[in-house]
Chain A
Amino acid sequence: MIAKVAGEIREAVDTSRTYNFMEVCGTHTMNIFRFGLREILPPNIRLISGPGCPVCVTPNEFIDKAVALARRKDTIVATFGDMFRVPGSRSSLDKEKANGASIKMVYSSIDALDLAKRNPDKDVIFLGIGFETTAPTVAQSILMAKKEGVKNYSVLCGHKTMPEALKVLTEDPRLNIDGFLLPGHVSAIIGIKPYRFLAARGKRCVIAGFEPLDIMQAILMLIEQKRPDIGIQYTRIISRCGNTLAKNSIKKVFNESPSVWRGIGKIKNSGLLIRREFKEFDADLKFKPKIMRPAENSACICGDVIKGVRTPLECKLFRRACKPEHPVGACMVSSEGTCSAYYKYG
Chain B
Amino acid sequence: MHRMIDSLFMAELGNEILRQKKDSAILKFGSKKLAFTTDSYVVNPIFFPGGDIGNLSVYGTVNDLSVCGARPLHLSLGIIIEEGLDRKILERIVRSIKNAAKSARVKIVTGDTKVVERGLCDRIFINTSGIGELYYDKLSIDKIEPGDSIIISGSIGEHAISVLSKREALEFGTKVRSDLAPLNGLIQKVLKGPKCGVRFMRDPTRGGLATTLNEIVSGRRFGIALDEKDVPVTSGVRQACEMLGFDPLYLACEGRVALVVSKRDAARVLDIIRKTALGRTAKIIGRVTEDHRGRVSLNTVAGGRRIVDMLSGEQLPRIC
Contacts and interface: CB of A to CB of B under 8 A. Distances in A.
B170 to A, nearest CB: 6
B306 interface: yes
A106 B167 CA distance: 11
B5 interface: no
B94 interface: no
Main secondary structure of the interface of B (DSSP, over half): loop
Contacts of A115: 169
A3 B300 CA distance: 12
A35 B302 contact: yes
A43 interface: no
Interface stretch (A133-141, A233-241, A338-346): A338-346
A35 B304 contact: yes
Interface in A296-346: 323-325, 335, 343-346
A104 interface: yes
Nearest to B245: A335
A285 interface: no
Contacts of A111: 169-170
A3 B312 CA distance: 32
Q: Give the one of A35, A40, A104 with max B CB within 10 A.
A: A35
B303 interface: yes
Interface string A149-189: 00000000000000000000000000000000000000000
B306 A346 contact: yes
Contacts of A345: 306-307, 309
B120 interface: no
Interface string A25-56: 00000000111111110000000000000000
Sort chain A's interface into a size bin: 20 to 34
Contact of A106 (B169, B304, B305, B306): B169
B244 interface: yes
B300 A34 contact: yes
Interface string A76-88: 0000000001000
B312 A36 contact: no
Interface residues of B, number: 20
A212 B312 contact: no
A36 B169 contact: no
A6 B307 CA distance: 21
B301 interface: yes
Q: Give the one of B298, B302, B306 with max A CB within 10 A.
A: B302
A115 B167 CA distance: 13
Interface string B159-197: 000000000011010000000000000000000000000
Given A35-B304, A345-B306, A85 B244 contact: no
B119 interface: no
B170 A325 contact: no
A343 B298 CA distance: 15
B30 interface: no
Contacts of A36: 298, 300, 302-306
A114 interface: yes
Q: Give the one of A106, A213, A346 with max B CB within 10 A.
A: A346
Interface in B273-307: 295, 298, 300-307
Which 5 A/B pairs are nearest by Cβ-Cβ distance?
A36-B304, A324-B312, A346-B307, A212-B302, A35-B302
18 contacts: A6-B303, A33-B306, A35-B304, A36-B298, A36-B300, A36-B305, A36-B306, A39-B304, A39-B305, A40-B304, A106-B169, A107-B244, A212-B300, A325-B3, A325-B313, A343-B312, A344-B307, A346-B307
Interface of A: 2-3, 6, 33-40, 85, 104-107, 111, 114-115, 212-213, 216, 323-325, 335, 343-346
Interface of B: 3, 169-170, 172, 244-245, 247, 295, 298, 300-307, 309, 312-313
